[in-house]
């Protein structure tokens, strides 16, 4: 291993709340992330509504690896590397579509939608009919599964089942995928853009950083809403930290700021959500990260993945999420408001991008800046593992850094473990509370 294990252990002190800045820029740490984190963790691929029909496919990434996700004739979903078994060329360069086959554009090897190699030019003359085609299908993911329409996969055959991986976070995931009987729909049209920073900075922010909103978004929020968010105190709400690295932060009774035109529908939807989920989950608007790189803002109808592209570059892939059974005009209103605020040029989104870019530049150019330890001590020691109603570790405040501490603790476990890092292998009580 290019990175010494004891050195790595010294970079994250989740008990004290300190993280070394160089984990956000070091090339060796990044390569280790691709191997130990992104080739093991369950990663979000798609929502069912993105590929509804047999033959529907889309291109995505698992870590740095391009992956095709395709709906099969029997309704199941398969995912495999978008890399030809002949010379490793991409077999499909379209973002999405519907097809029966993928033909590699280098020499023409052709695969069906299950990833089987089905046609090879000159198979009977140049290869003398001796090529064992059945051995050269596209490399499949080790496991694929879905939770309420969210499709995930892992390249690790030893990873625990998806539900176990999501653990206590499903209680909060339900609040945005299952708040109405018809569930959610991801609207067509992924928006992609690039940030010159480290993917973890964005993922940790969505897990737990409500603290930046008052300052980072002061001008954009003041210009487009009457919210009193930036009056000073932490807004009433809570934070959830999972022992498994997931995080959620929610504000209670936050009025919808950006969905003009959908107000009547939202009132009715809120009542439905309270009936299905209870007031605590129905009444919060917030931000979440499913470890490691799926995030969203359910209140702003937004879902996104942080795709790593190097130690100091990541791509944001962003979708608008609506209620599947909502009237068309409501869906359009949600799409418009989501794009105006959280789109690539959205009024709120550009504030975050500017921070992440500039932080990345400091680490890229500097030496002393890489030696810093960043502070993650907010709310340390003020969380409970025994909340009366909410699972996980709970901070009864919207501002705090518990979700970030949990994120980096789990990151460290993945990065320092030769095998799948079961929580039980690490000594503490918190793991016993998962899945209660
Ligand atoms: Fe795909 Fe040669 S690389 S056919
Ligand atoms: Fe922000």
Q: Where are the domains of the chain?
A: 43-144, 183-433
> Has residue 256 got a pLDDT over 60?
no
- Token pair in block for residue 351: 């504030």
Q: Give the whole-number percent of the chain exceeding pLDDT 90.
A: 75
Residues by chain with Cβ below 5 Å of ion ligand 2: 352
The pick from 68, 92, 102, 106 for probing ligand 1's pocket by mutation, whose C-beta has the most ligand atoms within 8 angstroms, reads: 106
pLDDT band at 434 (very low <50, low <70, confident <90, very high): very low
For ligand 1, is residue 86 a contact (CB within 6 Å)?
A: yes
Ligand sitting nearest the alpha carbon of 87: 1
Residues 10-29: what's their mean pLDDT? 96
Residues 87-108: what's their mean pLDDT? 98
pLDDT band at 225 (very low <50, low <70, confident <90, very high): low
- What local confidence, expressed as pLDDT, does residue 333 receive? 87
What is the DSSP secondary-structure string of 352-408?
Answer: HHHHHHHHHHHHHH-SHHHH-EEE--TTTT--BS--SS--SEEESSSS-SHHHHHHH
Q: State how far the Cα of 136 lies from the Cα of 206, in Å rounded to an integer.
A: 40
> Has residue 433 got a pLDDT over 70?
no
- Token pair in block for residue 147: 């939770």
Q: Which homologous superfamily is 43-144 in? A: Rieske [2Fe-2S] iron-sulphur domain (2.102.10.10)
Q: State how far the Cα of 110 lies from the Cα of 118, in Å rounded to an integer.
A: 6
> Has residue 119 got a pLDDT over 60?
yes
The residue contributing the CA closest to ligand 1 atom 3 is: 87
For ligand 1, is residue 84 a contact (CB within 6 Å)?
A: yes
User: Which of the residues are catalytic?
Assistant: 107, 209, 212, 217, 352
Q: State how far the Cα of 4 lies from the Cα of 297, in Å rounded to an integer.
A: 37
What is the DSSP secondary-structure string of 281-320?
Answer: HHTEEEEEEETTTEEEEGGGTEEEEEEE-STT-EEEEEEE
Ligand 2: distance of its center to the CA of 25 in Å? 21
- What local confidence, expressed as pLDDT, does residue 435 receive? 39
pLDDT in tens, 314-371: 999 999 999 999 999 889 888 888 888 888 888 889 999 999 999 999 999 999 999 9
Helix (H, G, I), strand (E, B) or coil at 122: coil
Give pTM, 2 decimals: 0.95
Ligand 1 atom having least distance to the Cα of 104: 1
Residues 159-167: what's their mean pLDDT? 97
- What local confidence, expressed as pLDDT, does residue 406 receive? 97
pLDDT band at 232 (very low <50, low <70, confident <90, very high): low
For ligand 1, is residue 189 a contact (CB within 6 Å)?
A: no
For ligand 1, is residue 105 a contact (CB within 6 Å)?
A: no
> Of 81-90, 180-189, 304-313, which range is least confident?
180-189
The residue contributing the CA closest to ligand 1 atom 2 is: 107
pLDDT in tens, 292-310: 999 998 877 899 999 999 9
> Has residue 431 got a pLDDT over 50?
no
- What local confidence, expressed as pLDDT, does residue 1 receive? 58
Hey, what CATH class is 183-433 in? alpha beta
Closest CA to 297 of 343, 261, 331, 262: 343
């Amino acid at each position: 291993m290019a990175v010494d294990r004891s050195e790595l252990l010294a970079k994250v002190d989740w008990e004290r709340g300190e993280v070394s800045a160089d984990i956000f820029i070091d090339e060796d740490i990044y390569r280790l992330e691709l191997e130990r984190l992104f080739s093991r963790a369950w990663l979000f691929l798609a929502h069912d509504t993105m590929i509804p029909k047999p033959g529907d496919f889309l291109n995505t990434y698992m870590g740095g690896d391009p992956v095709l996700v395709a709906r099969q004739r029997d309704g199941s979903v398969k995912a495999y590397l978008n890399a030809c078994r002949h010379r490793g060329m991409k077999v499909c360069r379209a973002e999405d579509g519907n097809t029966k086959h993928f033909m590699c554009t280098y020499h023409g090897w052709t695969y069906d939608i299950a990833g089987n190699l089905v046609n090879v030019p000159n198979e009977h003359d140049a290869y003398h009919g001796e090529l064992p085609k059945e051995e050269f299908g596209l490399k499949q993911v080790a496991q694929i599964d879905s939770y309420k329409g969210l499709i995930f996969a892992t390249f690790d055959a030893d990873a625990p089942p998806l539900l176990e991986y999501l653990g206590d976070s499903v209680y909060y995931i339900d609040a945005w995928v299952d708040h109405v009987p018809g569930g959610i729909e991801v609207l067509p049209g992924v928006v992609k853009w690039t940030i010159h920073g480290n993917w973890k900075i964005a993922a940790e922010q969505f897990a737990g950083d409500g603290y930046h909103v008052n300052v980072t978004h002061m001008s954009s929020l003041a210009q487009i809403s009457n919210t009193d968010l930036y009056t000073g105190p932490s807004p009433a709400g809570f934070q959830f930290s999972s022992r498994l690295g997931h995080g959620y932060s929610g504000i209670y009774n936050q009025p919808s700021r950006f969905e003009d035109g959908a107000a009547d529908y939202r009132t009715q939807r809120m009542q439905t959500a309270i009936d299905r989920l209870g007031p605590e989950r129905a009444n919060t608007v917030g931000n979440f990260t499913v470890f490691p790189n799926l995030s969203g803002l359910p209140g702003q109808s937004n879902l996104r993945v942080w795709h790593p592209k190097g130690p100091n570059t990541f791509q944001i892939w962003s979708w608008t999420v609506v209620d599947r059974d909502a009237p068309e005009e409501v869906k359009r209103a949600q799409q418009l408001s989501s794009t105006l605020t959280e789109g690539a040029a959205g009024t709120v989104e550009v504030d975050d991008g500017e921070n992440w870019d500039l932080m990345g530049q400091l680490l890229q150019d500097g030496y002393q800046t890489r030696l810093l330890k960043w502070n993650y001590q907010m709310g340390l020691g003020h969380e409970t593992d025994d909340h009366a109603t909410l699972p996980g570790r709970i901070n009864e405040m919207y501002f705090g850094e518990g979700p970030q501490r949990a994120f980096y603790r789990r990151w460290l476990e993945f990065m320092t473990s030769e095998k799948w890092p079961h929580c039980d292998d690490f000594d503490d009580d918190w793991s016993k509370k998962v899945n209660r």
